[in-house]
Every structure is written in structure tokens, then in C-alpha cells.
Structure 1
Amino acid sequence: MDSESIVYGCIKHLPFGELVQRKASCMHNRRAIRQLPQADEWPFLCREMFAVPGDDLMGGTFQTQVIHFGMSYQAVEYEWEHWIRKFESLLRQMYWVSAVVHLETELSGHHTFVWDATDVCHEPSDQPLRVRCEWAREGAIA
């Protein structure tokens, strides 16, 4: 059986400013997700793996816009740097305060990657992104 990897997480945006500005930044994020390809080159980062809530409480947004995503891959950890570059390219186009990606692998354990905005909120730009990684491995040491 082939090695399976699970990737999931969320991008959080806490809109600031007047109502018009808040709605505009949330719509901008929706467009960024919609502009992702339906099918992508390996390792895939495509729009089908993302879910964007509505603008109001009944649509899933109280204050924070939480864009969640997830996908099952065949051994994506071998192409992980490439996947991260694609994900960071998406983040550079969006408004957000933090993003978390969980990578669960059968052979390399579980990894959590966290991006935090350098200011109050990241605005679309090419500025460098800060990421930190936590690693956990299940099982006993032989």
C-alpha cells in the first residue's frame, strides 16, 4: 500500500476598518481562492481543497474569516518544499492574521506549520513570510 499524507489547516483573517473595508478584504480572499486552478501540477494546491464561509454569522463568520482546507496525497512530504512555496504564494495574495498547516505522514510523523503576520494583519504583498514548524512522532523508540 502506498504511503498516504494528509494536509489540512486554516487561514484566519480578522477584518479591520469600516464595514466596506472589512467586506472588501474578505471578498479579496474569496477571489484569491477562486483563482486557484481546478487541477494543478503535482503537488496539488487547487480550489477544491478550500472552503470559504459566508460573510455573516449564519454563513459561518462571526468576526474572523476562517478559510479551511484539506486534502489527501500520496507521499506529499517528498515534495513538501514545493507545496509550501505554492501555499506561501497564495498567502502573499491574501489578507490574513495567521495560517496553520498540519501535515500528517505515515513515515515522518506529524508536522504543524504556523505563519503569523508581521504586523497586525498581512496585506497582499511580496514581503517575506515567517513560518515556524513543530514536529511530533508517535510510537516508541526501538
Structure 2
Amino acid sequence: MDNESIVYGCIKHLPFGDERQRKASCFHNRRALRALPEADEWPFLSQDMFAIAGDPGAGGGFQTQVIHFGMSYRAVEYEWEHWIAKFERLLKRMYWVSAVVHLETEFAGFHTFLWDSADDYHEPSDEPLRVRCEWSREGNVV
């Protein structure tokens, strides 16, 4: 059996400003996701792995725009730095307050990567992002 990796998580955006500004930032995030390729080169980061719950006219959700994503890969951990680079390029083009990516692998365990905005929220920019990683391993090593 091939080594399967599961990648999933969410990007949280707490819209700011008046109603027009809140809607504009939520729609901006939708456009950033639609700008992703429909079919991508390895390691894949494409439109179809992302979804936003809620009414698009209202910006989605109660207060926080939650963008969730997930995909199954074949051993993506061997190309993980490339996947992270693509994900961070997307984050740099969006509004958000935090993001989390979970990586589940058969051999390397479970990894959680967390991004937090340096300010109240992140605006689209090329500034470096802050990330931290938490790792856990369940089960016995065979």
C-alpha cells in the first residue's frame, strides 16, 4: 500500500470595519481562492480543495469567515516545503486572523502548523508570515 497523507485545516478571517469593508474583505478572499488553478502541479493546491460555508452575500457565517480545506495525497510529506510555500503564497494574498493545517502521515505522525497574524488581522502583503509547528506521534514504532 502507498503512503497516504491527509492534509486539512481552515483559514479564519474576522471581517473588520463597516458592512461594506467586511463584505469587501470576504469577497476578496473568495477571489483569491478562485484564482488558484483548477488543476495544479505536484504538490497540489487547487480550487476544489477549498470551501467557504455561509451566504456569500453576507460574507459567510455569523462573524468569522471560515475557509476550510482538505485533500488526500500520496506521501506529500516528502514535498512538504513546496506545499507550505504554495499555501503561504495564498495566505499572503488574503485577509485572515489565523490559519491551521493538519498533516496526518502513516510514518511521520501528526503535525499541526499554525499561522497567527502579527497584528489584529493579516492584510494582503508580501510580509513574512509567522508559523509554528506542533508534532505528535500515536501508536508504537514497528
Q: Structures share a fold, TM > 0.5?
A: yes
CA offsets 1:31-58 (integer angstroms, 9 cap, x no match): 00011001001000000000012347x9
Partner of 2:33: 33
Is the 2:27–2:59 Cα contact (8 Å) retained in structure 1? no
Partner of 2:64: 64
Residue correspondences, number: 141
CA offsets 1:70-94 (integer angstroms, 9 cap, x no match): 0000000000000000000000000
Is the 1:34–1:47 Cα contact (8 Å) retained in structure 2? yes
Partner of 2:132: 132
Whole-angstrom distance in 1 between the partners of 2:94 and 2:59? 20
Whole-angstrom distance in 1 between the partners of 2:141 and 2:45? 34
Unaligned runs of 5+ in 1: none
Partner of 2:19: 19
Is the 2:100–2:112 Cα contact (8 Å) retained in structure 1? yes
Partner of 1:7: 7
Partner of 2:102: 102
Partner of 1:90: 90
1:45 aligns with 2:24: no
Measured after TM superposition, the shift of residue 59 of structure 1 is 8.4
Measured after TM superposition, the shift of residue 65 of structure 1 is 0.0
Whole-angstrom distance in 2 between the partners of 1:18 and 1:60? 16
TM-score by length of 2: 0.95
Is the 1:15–1:26 Cα contact (8 Å) retained in structure 2? yes
Is the 2:26–2:59 Cα contact (8 Å) retained in structure 1? no
